[in-house]
Amino acid sequence: MTPEAITLSDITLNAPDAFALARFYAVITQGEAHGTSARARVTGPGGQIGFQQVADPLISRSGSLSDNAHYVS
């Protein structure tokens, strides 16, 4: 039996303004942006990208560098 491959089904990026970043990605991917400044998504023929609002995406609440992307397989 051959194991099934793990594929990436979604990614979520942190941003100070989720919808602003979604609009940017919509232009460069020729997708459509939907959502609010808190949570947004770009959808297109090749998949989707999620965005979530984080006050300072580079710094976590503990003051250390944070993960800027979250992957779902």
Q: Tens of pLDDT along 22-70? A: 999 999 999 999 999 999 999 988 889 999 998 776 655 555 555 555 5
Chosen CATH of 10-56 out of 3.30.70, 3.30.720, 2.60.120, 3.30.360 = 3.30.720
55 CB-contact burial (10 Å; exposed 0-12 / middle 13-18 / buried 19+): exposed
Decide: pTM greater than 0.85. Answer: no
- Delimit the domains of the chain by residue range: 10-56
Contact 35, 43 (CB under 8 A): no
Contact 14, 52 (CB under 8 A): yes
Alpha carbon distance 22, 35 (integer Å):
9
